[in-house]
Amino acid sequence: MASFGRHCARILAALALIGAGWGETAAAAPAQHSEIFYHVFVRSFRDANGDRIGDLDGLTRGLDYIRRLGVTTVLLTPVQPSPFYHNYFATSFTGVDCAYGGEAAWRRFVRAAHAHGLRVYMDLEFQYVAGGHPWLTRTWHHPAAARRDWLVWDNAEPRATPFGLYAGAADGSRHAIAFVNLDNPAVRRYFRAYLLHWADPHADGSGRDGVDGFRIDHMMDDLDNQHVVTNLFDGFWRPLIAAVKARRPEVRFVGEQWDWGHGSEFLARGQADMVFAFPLHDALDALDKAAILREAAATAAATPAGKDQVVFLENHDTDRFMSIVGGDPQKARAGAAILFALRGEPSVYYGQELGMLGRKGPAEKSDAPDIPRREAFRWRADLAAPGSAIWYRALDRVWSARVNRSNDGVSVEEQDHAPGSLLNWYRRLIALRRTRPELAMGDQSFPCATASPVLCVLRSAGARRSLLLVNLSDKPATPALDPEAGNAGLRVLLGEGALDAVLAPYAVRLAGTP
């Protein structure tokens, strides 16, 4: 796989930055606070050509499933060529990894996603380059080489990142990683053209075949806190984002704040449209009412008007929620219900809706420990069925310790037509989120008594109200509803029993105005 990736990089390095016309139109921009993300780890989602590597044609074939789930937006992990299985740290910024089908497959995917009414967000990491990138290979040990000043150097060697001068890949290979000099005006012009290429490939402002948003990985103001490439919010990110929005105002940017904090500075100074609600994620994963109330308030306070937070239970860098709750299906349902009731823009990590398992493996000097969090999406009960992206089968130590197994009940085939499945629970929650505007854009309050184990989330917009009740304890509990919260006239939409009836442990009840 490593040699194939290097071959890809050599081919793609020669591609022109600006592509030819691709046809179709961009997906319509959503109203503020209305997106529901489906976060896909490309290599693990679906294989279309039989090599067991998830690819873009496989993702295209999976769009019917994604649309039926009810989400609005597909967020992909990076697709640029890289020596690492996750495709962060690129060996070329132009083109698309050949293992994923190259640019032709990318064009097919974007067209198909837009035809399905889905928006597309591209994940980018261009603050570093990996060994094999021409900016590094052509300048290392060549002080007079062109574009040498596009990287940061220290005593004639690339300055090491926190990953060290070399980082280990899952296959045992090691690769150099170097800083990109984001202070260089030529580099800034390059990345301006680069983002405009993906957002507006026809260079006419139409956005036809362009992405609808970007996720910025590991967004920083001081690159890796090394005090070498600094003031990036004002000098790099703000002008870059402004240039893209000048061409296509509807394109949105999600910044992954490097410190996993509340992200206020990234929204205000960095001008990202959204950040990830990491502290709230920790509270949700713990199913801790007090922490959820505290972090919901802190998250709201950190979010300027017109900005938002992506609320999530899982992503590619976190343990799977079903593993965190010990495989308890009722806790999994409770977490999902809270996710879609809270203010913010919810994100579902592929397979989360099936209850896929996965925790980070034992530490080692490579990126392999994260593979259990990134295993193949479960289309069929048989893990080895055609289409299953079990690319990690080639890594014996990883494959033997794989978490998800055949016929474990965690697949689309096993859950699709089962009314009580977790998959269909997610479909119902997402449908409610999309059809009840107060859940997407309404005000938020928590009208239950703080001492009660029942979490109450009230969303309201004008006369419309939705009230979620979740018993976050292992004993039956009665909701301690505020009698002045306006509960009259609400009818139960999801769950069992009257609005104020006893809730079983981790039971969910959602009520709303007709």
On whether the pTM is more than 0.85, the answer is yes
User: Using one digit for the tens of pLDDT, what is the confidence trace for 194-223?
Assistant: 999 999 999 999 999 999 999 999 999 999
User: Using one digit for the tens of pLDDT, what is the confidence trace for 136-155?
Assistant: 999 888 888 999 999 998 86
Q: State mean pLDDT over 247-271.
A: 97
- Asked whether the predicted pLDDT for residue 482 surpasses 60, the reply is yes
- Cα gap 255→270, rounded to integer Å: 9
- Joined together, the tokens standing for residue 392 give 């990690």
pLDDT at 153: 87
Reply yes or no on domain 2-435 having CATH 3.90.1150.10. no
pLDDT at 26: 56
Please name the residue that has the structure tokens 């009412």: 289
Q: What is the mean pLDDT of the chain?
A: 91
Question: Which residue spans of the chain are classified as CATH 3.20.20.80?
Answer: 2-435
Q: State mean pLDDT over 128-140.
A: 91
pLDDT at 27: 63
Among 8-17, 171-180, 307-316, name the most confident range. 307-316
How would residue 483 be classed by pLDDT, with cut points 50, 70 and 90?
confident
Percent of the chain predicted with pLDDT > 90? 82
- Asked whether the predicted pLDDT for residue 22 surpasses 70, the reply is no
How would residue 52 be classed by pLDDT, with cut points 50, 70 and 90?
very high
Nearest one of 357, 349, 348, 296 to 325, comparing CA atoms: 357
Question: CA dist 464 to 442, 461, 486, 492, 514, Å?
Answer: 9, 5, 11, 14, 8
Percent of the chain predicted with pLDDT > 70? 91
How would residue 10 be classed by pLDDT, with cut points 50, 70 and 90?
very low
- Cα gap 62→190, rounded to integer Å: 33
- Asked whether the predicted pLDDT for residue 424 surpasses 90, the reply is yes
Q: Which residues pair with 349 in a beta bridge?
A: 39
Buried/exposed 429-443: b ≥16 CB within 10 Å, e otherwise: bbebbbebbbbbebe
Q: Is 66 helix (H, G, I), strand (E, B) or coil?
A: helix
How would residue 25 be classed by pLDDT, with cut points 50, 70 and 90?
very low
CATH number of 442-512: 2.60.40.1180
- Asked whether the predicted pLDDT for residue 5 surpasses 70, the reply is no
pLDDT at 21: 29
Burial class (CB in 10 A: 0-12, 13-18, 19+), 201: buried
- Asked whether the predicted pLDDT for residue 180 surpasses 50, the reply is yes
- Asked whether the predicted pLDDT for residue 164 surpasses 60, the reply is no
Q: State mean pLDDT over 313-327.
A: 98
Q: State mean pLDDT over 380-384.
A: 97
Instruction: Answer with the residue of higher pLDDT: 348 or 165.
Output: 348
- Asked whether the predicted pLDDT for residue 290 surpasses 50, the reply is yes
Q: Are 479 and 469 contacting, i.e. CB atoms less than 8 angstroms apart?
A: yes
pLDDT at 462: 93
Nearest one of 239, 235, 215, 213 to 223, comparing CA atoms: 235
How would residue 3 be classed by pLDDT, with cut points 50, 70 and 90?
very low
Question: Which residue spans of the chain are classified as CATH 2.60.40.1180?
Answer: 442-512
- Asked whether the predicted pLDDT for residue 163 surpasses 50, the reply is no
